[in-house]
Amino acid sequence: MGPGTWGPISVALLAGLLGAFAPMSAGAYTISIDPGTKSIYLVVGTGKMTGGTLDSGGTPGNSSVVNKVSVTVPAASIGSGPLPMTTDSTTSNSLLDGFAYCDVPNEVYVGGYYRAPGNGAGASASLSVTSPANLTSGGQNLSFNSISWTSGGNGANAVTIPSGTFAAGTAQNLIAVSKNYWFEGCLQFFYANASVVPAGTFTGRVTYTLTSP
Amino acid sequence: MNARLYLRWRFRVEHWCLIAAFLASGSNVNAFTAVRVDDSATVVSQPVSKMQWRTPVPGRHTDHVVQTRVNVLARLNLAAWLGQGVRIYMVLEPSGGNTFTASWRGGARLLPGTLQSGQRTLVFVGRVNTAMFEEPLVLDLATDGRTLVAAQSLHFHFELEVA
């Protein structure tokens, strides 16, 4: 190549390079996706877990068990102040990791989660409890607000369910359950035993509900 | 060297310096020369794919990944490069606030790989011997389910460099 021919070749090369930047075709394929599904789970007392704890890959299921909490008031103690109640639930270990969390038969295990896309406050699930107005024994009534609870758990860093007293006849919110976290607590119930009531077996059922937005 | 030849030589050197500077101006020379391939004939198996939690129950040792699997039949029009050695990359374009990971197993001709939003990965090296390159892909898509709160569209395309 002689010295007089380099210019056109260089220009042609440059043009070729420039041409490479121009898209030949603006093709693209698109995949449309929807966010993750929602799920919710609540266990109060005896739950159902198969395949080990949740952390080890266990799967939560439905349990038809309705546990009882009871106390027998000795005749000599009638009206003399709070008495601890005991439960027939045998769930003492955390369903999350098997840690010995609750003391049975004194405490009732409560746990659950709300799985949903997103994070943070403002879109939490709500744990509530509804109690009837009264425990009943035949025609006799005993207000449900005579039953209270304290919340705890062995080695718990924070109490997830606050202690409280049943609001007789109404639903009451207990906690907001943040998305994508397992919550749990142990509830110890007490009978106020603040008055003299007729002899009998007073019963009533409360219902815990976890509601997603 | 006479004056005329010197001027020509000087101009020649300056010209090549200009080209060199032009090539070096991009942070990635390969990306600079990549050509977007016509993949408009590519088919995705389902119009919308529902993400599923990898661990349905949130726990202390579980993650928050949502994932899904999509079958794609990639069809690339490579007629312009018949007989040439090429490198082909798959690109996942940036996708809003979420970082997605796409991984796939290799097919008969495509290499297995993984890429994240905003990245590209080599999927083919070789000579083009067919005008319409067709290959099935099983794409596994994943992202953090806590930040994926709305439907999204993930845009993939292919880039080609002549080897």
ipTM of the complex: 0.76
pLDDT band at B61 (very low <50, low <70, confident <90, very high): low
Q: How far apart are CA A172 and CA A130, in angstroms?
A: 6
3-state SS track over B64-129: CEEEEEEEEEEEEECHHHCCCEEEEEEEECCCCCCCCEEEECCCCCCCCEEEECCEEEEEEEEECC
Bridge partners of A134, per DSSP, are: A143
- For A10-124, strand residue ranges (E) read 29-34, 39-44, 48-50, 59-61, 69-70, 83-84, 86-87, 107-115
Higher pLDDT, B10 or A100: A100
Which chain B residue's Cα is nearest to A37? B52
Provide the 10 A C-beta neighbour count for residue A107: 28
Measure in Å the smallest separation between the Cα of A78 and chain B Cα atoms: 45
DSSP secondary-structure letter at A5? G
Residue A147 carries which side chain, given as an amino acid letter?
Answer: I
Nearest Cα neighbor of A179 from A27, A39, A25 is A39
Q: Using beta carbons and an 8 Å cutoff, which residues of A are at the interface with B?
A: 3-4, 6-7, 10, 13-14, 17, 20-21, 23-37, 39, 41, 54-55, 59-60, 96-97, 113, 115, 117-119, 179-182
Higher pLDDT, B36 or B6: B36
Q: Which residues of A touch B151 (CB under 8 A)?
A: 32-35
Nearest Cα neighbor of A32 from B147, B158, B148 is B148
B110 in Cβ contact with B42 (< 8 Å): no
Q: Which residues of B touch A96 (CB under 8 A)?
A: 59-60
Q: How far apart are CA B151 and CA B129, in angstroms?
A: 39
A209 in Cβ contact with A128 (< 8 Å): yes
DSSP secondary-structure letter at A57? T
B23 touches chain A (CB under 8 A): yes
Average pLDDT value for chain B: 82
Q: Which residues of A touch B38 (CB under 8 A)?
A: 24-25, 27
Map tokens 């996942």 to a residue: B92
Q: How far apart are CA B35 and CA A22, in angstroms?
A: 7
B101 touches chain A (CB under 8 A): no
pLDDT tens-place string over residues B86-136 = 999 999 999 877 899 999 987 789 999 999 999 999 999 999 999 999 999
Q: How far apart are CA A3 and CA B110, in angstroms?
A: 46
User: Counting beta carbons within 10 angstroms of the beta carbon of residue A8, is it exposed (0 to 12), middle (13 to 18) or buried (19 or more)?
Assistant: exposed
Q: Indicate whether this model's pTM tops 0.80.
A: no
pLDDT tens-place string over residues A116-150 = 987 765 578 999 999 999 999 999 999 999 999 99
Partner-chain residue, chosen from B23, B35, B155, that has the shortest CB–CB distance to A28: B155
Percent of chain B at pLDDT exceeding 70:
79
pLDDT of res. A6: 33
Provide the 10 A C-beta neighbour count for residue B106: 14
- For chain A, which residues score pLDDT lower than 70? 1-27, 120-122, 157-159
Q: How far apart are CA B146 and CA B98, in angstroms?
A: 10
B61 touches chain A (CB under 8 A): yes
Q: Which residues of A touch B32 (CB under 8 A)?
A: 21
Measure in Å the smallest separation between the Cα of A96 and chain B Cα atoms: 7
Nearest Cα neighbor of B91 from B156, B162, B29, B160 is B156
Which pair of tokens denotes residue B121? 């990965």
